[in-house]
């Protein structure tokens, strides 16, 4: 790690230690090290799949075409040809959950739908774009866990005959009001926002760090590549992967950083 990055980590840790209320805002990049592909960038989902399959209008019109893509990306554990186990949280998710327990982190707003923050133990959490963990019937509204058996034959069907839709927000679909209001409440109270692995291209989610910055708060950003936040609102940029950065910050906050 070069000297500039070490200094940026020291500065970020000092800001976190002195903060009144810290929120984390996470994007697909925090789950990349858990094996969940990002949408954009090298190896991103859009290099392999048709983006329309996650548009609400397309899904409603062609669930039989969209569902195989959705299963392949987010429910690979249920693919007949896939031996891949369900995704697991990584060190970055675990550090955020531990910081919540320790009172270092007040709230997490995630754009991710993979459930990995909840699996790591985060409880003060807004899953801004919903979750892959449950499915709802488009005909009768019944909500069920995303069990492997349900996804073996596509599109998955409710006993009423309706087709299930995953409980995540499709392109063209509104944000869940409870997820939205808890995220904005936390952002308005925060004086520090730790942005991890987001391009900042998806709205309205990308307004969350901007609410913190607009209120005079500091934005610390973790991303191997600059994002739309970097030159705009980022105060301290950590050009690193999520786990490496979070573990390095955690060591500093615990006073155990190796020089």
Return the residue of 100, 114, 127, 167 that touches ligand NAD, per CB under 6 A: 114
Contact between 126 and ligand NAD by CB under 6 A: the answer reads no
240: CB partners within 8 A, 6+ apart: 1, 5, 222, 224, 248
Tokens 């959950």: give the residue: 97
239 binds ligand NAD per the rule CB under 6 A? no
Beta strands 125-127 and 107-110, pairing class:
parallel
224 is an interface residue for ligand NAD by CB under 6 A: yes
Lay out the site mask for ligand NAD across 23-52 (x = CB under 6 A, - = otherwise): ----xxx-xxx--x-xxxx--x--------
Q: Residue count of the chain, please give it.
A: 259
Q: Is 129 an active-site residue?
A: yes
Q: Is 143 exposed, middle or buried (0-12, 13-18, 19+ CB in 10 A)?
A: exposed
Closer residue to ligand NAD, CB minimum distance, 158 or 195: 195
Contact between 241 and ligand NAD per CB under 6 A? yes
Hunting for tokens 């970055």 — which residue is that?
92
Tokens of 202: 């998806």
Angle of helix 177-189 versus helix 207-214 axis, rounded to 10: 30
Residue 122 binds to ligand NAD (criterion: CB under 6 A): no
Binding to ligand NAD by residue 199, rule CB under 6 A? yes
The least distance separating ligand NAD from the CB of residue 70, rounded to whole angstroms, comes to: 12
| CB 243, min distance to ligand NAD, A | 7
Is residue 146 involved in binding ligand NAD (CB under 6 A)? no
CB closer to ligand NAD, 104 vs 175:
175
Nearest to 194, CA basis, from 6, 13, 7: 13
* Minimum separation from the CB atom of position 141 to ligand NAD (A): 23
Q: Is the dihedral of CA 202, 131, 104, 14 positive or negative?
A: negative
> 100 or 221: whose CB is closer to ligand NAD?
221
Q: Are 203 and 111 in contact (CB under 8 A)?
A: no
Cβ proximity to ligand NAD, 75 vs 164, nearer residue = 75
Minimum Å gap between C-beta 27 and ligand NAD is 3
CA distance 108 to 196: 11
Question: Is residue 202 part of the contact set for ligand NAD (CB under 6 A)?
Answer: yes
Q: Contact 222/246 with Cβ under 8 angstroms? A: yes
Q: Which residues bind ligand NAD (CB under 6 A)?
A: 27-29, 31-33, 36, 38-41, 44, 111-114, 129, 196-199, 201-202, 205, 222-225, 227, 241-242
Q: Which residues are catalytic?
A: 129
């Amino acid at each position: 790690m070069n000297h500039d990055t070490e200094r940026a980590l020291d500065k970020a840790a000092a800001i976190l230690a002195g903060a009144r209320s810290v929120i984390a805002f996470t994007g697909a990049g925090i789950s990349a090290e858990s094996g969940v592909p990002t949408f954009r960038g090298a190896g991103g989902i859009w290099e392999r799949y048709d983006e329309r399959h996650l548009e609400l209008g397309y899904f409603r019109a062609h669930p039989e075409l969209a569902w195989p893509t959705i299963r392949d990306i987010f429910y690979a554990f249920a693919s007949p040809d896939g031996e891949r186990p369900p995704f697991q949280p990584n060190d970055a998710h675990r550090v955020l959950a531990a910081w919540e327990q320790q009172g270092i982190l007040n709230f997490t707003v995630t754009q991710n739908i993979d459930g990995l923050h909840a699996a790591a133990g985060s409880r003060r959490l807004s899953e801004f774009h919903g979750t892959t963990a449950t499915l709802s019937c488009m005909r009768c509204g019944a909500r069920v866990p995303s069990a492997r058996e349900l996804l073996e034959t596509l599109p998955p069907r409710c006993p009423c005959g309706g087709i299930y839709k995953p409980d995540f927000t499709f392109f063209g679909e509104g944000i869940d009001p409870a997820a939205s209001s808890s995220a904005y409440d936390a952002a308005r109270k925060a004086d520090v926002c730790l942005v991890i692995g987001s391009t900042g291209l998806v709205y309205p989610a990308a307004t969350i760090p901007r609410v913190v910055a607009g209120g005079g708060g500091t934005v610390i950003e973790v991303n191997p590549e600059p994002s739309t936040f970097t030159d705009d609102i980022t105060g301290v940029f950590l050009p690193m992967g999520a786990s490496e950065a979070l573990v390095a910050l955690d060591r500093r906050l615990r006073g155990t950083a190796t020089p």
